[in-house]
Amino acid sequence: MISRIWHGWTTLENAEAYELLLKNEIFLNIETRKIDGFKGIHLLRRNVDEEVEFITIMWFDSLEAVRTFAGEDYELSVVPPKAKELLSRFDARSQHYEVKTSQQV
């Protein structure tokens, strides 16, 4: 299992619009692609001073599945134009980790 982690930041004023864009459009578009090996996505959010940080954690069976999602340069972040309009900054590259354990609490 591979975890793909990415960070983006918005202004306080853009945070709600960005979260709605993620939930109502971007995440749905990813799901409708029916990527073999895509297992899901989590969204984290926190206020940090005058910004709002968002973290997405995507789950894939393999790096090949990640490449299907992101392309051959799979570490390159995938940020649609509408999202770029709302973000003040974001990771240019995503981090990928091999998941060694998974446990529900």
**Count H helices, E strands: the chain?**
4, 5
pLDDT, one tens digit per residue, over 22-31 is 999 999 999 9
Identify whether the C-beta of residue 39 lies closer than 8 Å to the C-beta of residue 59: yes
Question: pLDDT digits over 1-49, tens only?
Answer: 999 999 999 999 999 999 999 999 999 999 999 999 999 999 999 999 9
- Give me the residue spans of the domains in the chain: 2-98
Residues β-bridged to residue 60: 2, 38
Q: For 2-98, which CATH class?
A: alpha beta
- Read off φ and ψ for residue 52, nearest 5 degrees: -120, 125
Q: Which residue has the tokens 């240019």?
A: 92
